[in-house]
Structure formats: C-alpha cells, structure tokens
Amino acid sequence: MFDLVRDMPQGLPQFGTAGWITLDTWGRTYWGGALFCLLADVEIRRQTSNAKGLEQALRGIIDVGRDIRKDWNLEDALRTGDRAVGVSVLHPLYMRMKDRPVSVDLDSLWSQLGIQLDGSSVRFDDGAKLAVRQIELGYWRHLGR
C-alpha cells in the first residue's frame, strides 16, 4: 500500500502535458491508468452507496463476452462497464482524462479514504469519511490491509 500512495503522483499530469491517451512515458501511462481506476472505483462506490465498485464494472464487461482475445473499442467497453454498475462513471471519466490534464488532489483523497503515510509505511484511519464504507465491503483486503 505504501508504494501505491508514494508512486501514484506519477500518474498526475505534468506542466505542459496533454491527457492520458497522449502519454509518452511508462510511469505516466502506468500510474495514470492506476489513477483512473482509483478515481473510477471511488466514484462508482459513491454513486451506488457502496453497493458496487470497479470490480463489478469489469466483471460486467467480461460477462458480455469481451476479454483480451479480441480487440474492442475502449469507449464501448467503458459504456458496458457503466451499464453493469448502473451509473455513468467510466466513460465520462475517460472522456475527461483522455486528452487534457486532470488535476487530482491525492492528499485529500488519501485522507478521505483513511490512508496516511507514516515514514516508510501507511496507517489506516477507520474513522475517515470514506474508509468505513470501503472496509465494510472488504475493499482493502486484497490490498494487504
């Protein structure tokens, strides 16, 4: 988890850069994708009162028979994921991030999620605004919590 919090800023736009689809560095591409997934998951959970998250959106895409064995239009895939969770998050977020820089206050987001850097590790604040909801769903279980 420490690495995630420490390295996620690499996905943020740098001065003079364009959006996500025009990235030309490994770090921005990798961490920009991780940032997209984090933002999408948090927003899906917010809009569905934690009933669903990014995992259900991705499963919805696979459930219609789409996987890596065949090329598929990304925007169609994102719309399918949105339909699977019943809220429109993935496609609008992609449209906002794809060709222009999007500023994200990661410090505020980590704080709301109850994740705090503590030297070379992280501490969790179960009383944070979004933390309890995530914990109730076992969200952090697969992140080593």
- Residue 32: its pLDDT value, please? 86
- Residue 112: its pLDDT value, please? 93
Dist CA 114 CA 109 (whole Å): 9
CB 53 within 8 Å of CB 141: no
What are the pLDDT tens digits along the chain (145 aa)?
888 899 898 888 776 566 665 556 777 788 888 999 999 999 999 999 989 999 999 999 999 987 788 888 999 999 999 999 999 999 999 999 888 888 899 999 999 999 988 888 888 888 888 875 544 445 544 444 4
Put simply, whether the predicted model's pTM sits higher than 0.85 gets the answer no
